[in-house]
Amino acid sequence: MSKPKVIVIGAGFTGVATAHDLALRGFDVTVVERGDICNGTSGRTHGLLHSGGRYAVTDQESAIECVDENMILRKIVPQAIEPNGGLFVAIDESDLAYAEEFIEGCNACHIPIVELNSKQALAMEPNINPKVIMAFTVPDGTFDPIRLALAFAATAKKNGARFRTYTEMEQLVIDGQGNVKGIKIWDRARDTHAELDADLVVNATGAWVGEIAAHAGAHVPINPTPGVMVAYDQRLVQRPINRLNKPGDGDIVLPQRRMMVVGTTSYEVRNLDYVPVIDSQVKLMLERGEELVPGISKTKPRGVFTATRPLIGSGSSGRSIARTFKCFDHKETDGIGGLITITGGKATTLRAMAEKTADMVCAKLGIQAVCITKDTVLASYRDFYPNN
Amino acid sequence: MSAIRWTVTFQVFRKKGEQASHFDEFKLEVDPDEYVLDGVERIWAFHDHSLVYRHACHHSTCGACGMRVNGAEKLTCITPIRDVTQDGGVVRVEPLRNFTLVSDLAVDMGVMYKHMDLVGQHPVNLDTNEAIQPEARPAGPTVDRPDYLRLSDCIECGLCVSACPITASSPDYLGPAVLAGAQQGGILGDAQVFHLVDSEDGVWRCHSAFECTAVCPSFVDPGWRIMDLRRQVIAESFRQLFGGSNPKETGSKEASK
């Protein structure tokens, strides 16, 4: 019997990790991506490998996903991770008041933390705000976005997956009963058109899942929520510095190579293909970043960028939406067969998102195959190219 | 960012498959503090969806968006339009040289990546920066090596390879990115890497133009590293001439640990 054919649309974090999982489970996998690897939201992450500390009070489901996946990624893709740890710092009384909830939350989510006094925190990070009252160490890290994705893609390719980059999905091919049977594609590099058939199409397009699903008349409750980040040209801290408080704007300063990245904000947009930078938010990043690392004002902005998070939900907006992920079987939600959508989540949880998606693919196509991605060390990201 | 608006003409290199190449022009109203990549992205989003270009992080950590801008190699995500043209001026964008063209502005860097692996350049390096006090350093990989791991400075953007006049005339030359990688990985513990670096397509091919160092956006300084490798190769060759043992034949290096 020939292998069941699965098309994955999108080669961001979710798409490449799903392709990797499906290839290991024996599927015939084709990934279709309109740009190159990681050219949407995934590339434009600040690169924080979450310990889960950020969500330990407000969103414990996400926090547990983060800490568990953080530990797995350190094992399977050390080539893309700087395992530098992280600090949550209390600067004012409101932060201090949050400490008790934070400790409880971290304990409930098995996130290992160590409490530091002001002197210990400043010895560890001499450039943080000298007003620091207390701090906690957490197992945060910094990851390299493109190389994280390329390592998954390279491993998927070794296991037989094909990657059609610079290839845009033009249409879903739909049969007489309204079920998805394949896709029509436009190869933008060669300017050619073709049709690919599939037993199942996985929509892994992040913030764009609503637009793709709409081609089949399906609906996904997605709230694309951009945020601004600013990279500064000096590295004044050696590990991510988080504000010890509820998640808010500009409350993370992250070291990335010889830079620092301050993030982020939260707003709403209409056109996802080009999200403009909002000046007032850039200013806000500097002000808020300075509260954590006062020396930022003496550094120069090096890059200003936006990324659009794929948050799931409806009604509520921005910060209040959970950061967890969800897989939708459009047979159940819209009566449309042959199409599933995976979205939401965070870079840190890419592998878990892929596992859940591949489980659903297996269930829908009647395939018995277990997930082994937790224990599969990834190939070198450098094996991905040349592609095609 | 500012409230000022400039009108600039982007002249964009185009090529699809076997078709002949040409330039397309797009007149854009821009904020001069926007980056060249923002302009390219807007052309794709609003003017011509067939434009192929590579980009990911938009803050100089991934190395995907290198292009030639008005004749010079630039990481376009951190190059303000103000730095390369003027109001009413031209921004000519072309793909990097000395790589295989994929389409339009995108090139394939597979060969450079493979060579980086061959010389043992590791994307996560030990940081031995002594300016960082011991108590400020995150834990190192082992007790013996307390230096901590840090993402490498080199982002493999290929600007140095495109700018190198020698690579243009000698395609087999290892090139500045790879030689800088070998210098950071260490060449003396591995005979295969040593011989590769000491070969005619290694450090001796370089003519010290230092174009690589001039265009490097990530503080790697490949030109200096190639000169340092030469010193190491000469010193090692003398040592062997006077009876020192050869570097170990360990096969290709896995990591700079």
ipTM of the complex: 0.94
Q: Where are the beta strands (DSSP E) in B44-190?
A: 66-69, 72-75, 90-94, 100-103, 106-108, 124-127, 148-151
pLDDT for A117 beyond 90: yes
CATH 1.10.1060.10 domain extents, chain B:
109-241
Q: Where in chain B is the domain with CATH 3.10.20.30?
A: 6-107
Sheet containing B90-94: which strands, arranged edge to edge? B22-30, B6-14, B90-94, B66-69, B72-75
Whether domain A5-41+146-221+323-383 has CATH 3.60.110.10: the reply is no
| Residue range A371-383: mean pLDDT, rounded | 98
The phi-psi region of residue A318 (left if phi > 0; otherwise alpha if psi is between -120 and 50; otherwise beta) is left
What's the pLDDT score for residue B249? 52
Q: Do A257 and B135 touch (CB under 8 A)?
A: no
Q: Which tens digit of pLDDT belongs to each residue from A182-202? A: 999 999 999 999 999 999 999
- pLDDT the model gives residue A68: 98
The answer, yes or no, to whether residue B256 has pLDDT greater than 60, is no
B62 and A386 in contact by Cβ < 8 A? no
- Evaluated on CA atoms A157, A222, A303, B41, the torsion sign reads positive
Report the DSSP pairing between strands A81-82 and A141-143.
Answer: antiparallel
Q: In the structure, what pLDDT confidence band is assigned to residue A324 with cuts at 50, 70 and 90?
A: confident
- SS3 state at B91: strand
Looking at residue B163, what is its pLDDT?
A: 98
Q: Does B109 touch chain A (CB under 8 A)?
A: yes
- The SS3 assignment for A278 reads coil
At the fourth CATH level, the homologous superfamily of domain B6-107 is Beta-grasp domain (3.10.20.30)
Which residues touch A326 (CB under 8 Å, ≥6 apart)? A312, A342, A343, A344
Pairing of strands B6-14, B90-94: parallel
Residue B37 belongs to what H/E stretch? Answer: helix B36-42
Q: Quick one: fold of A48-143+223-312? A: D-Amino Acid Oxidase; Chain A, domain 2 (3.30.9)
Query: Which chain A positions have a beta carbon within 8 Å of B19's beta carbon?
Result: 191
Task: Average the pLDDT over A18-41 and give the result.
Answer: 97
Q: How far is the C-alpha of B62 from the C-alpha of B79, rounded, in Å?
A: 15
Q: What's the pLDDT score for residue B198?
A: 95
CB atoms within 10 A of CB B239: 13
Quote the pLDDT of residue A319: 59
Q: What is the dihedral of CA A148, A149, A150, A154, to 10 degrees?
A: 110
With a CB-CB cutoff of 8 Å, which residues 182-221 of chain B face chain A? Answer: 218-219
The amino acid at A361: V
**pLDDT per position as a tens digit, B144-193:** 766 789 999 999 999 999 999 999 999 899 999 999 999 988 888 889 99
Please name the residue of chain B whose CA is at the shortest distance from the CA of residue A36: B54
Question: Is B61 close to A144, i.e. CB distance below 8 A?
Answer: yes
A117 and chain B in contact, CB less than 8 A: no
Q: Which CATH number fits domain B109-241: 1.10.3720.10, 3.40.309.10, 1.10.1060.10, 3.30.530.20?
A: 1.10.1060.10
pLDDT band of residue B126 (cuts 50, 70, 90) is confident
Q: What is the DSSP letter of A316?
A: S
| pLDDT for residue A314 is more than 70 | no
Determine what percent of chain B is predicted with pLDDT higher than 70.
93
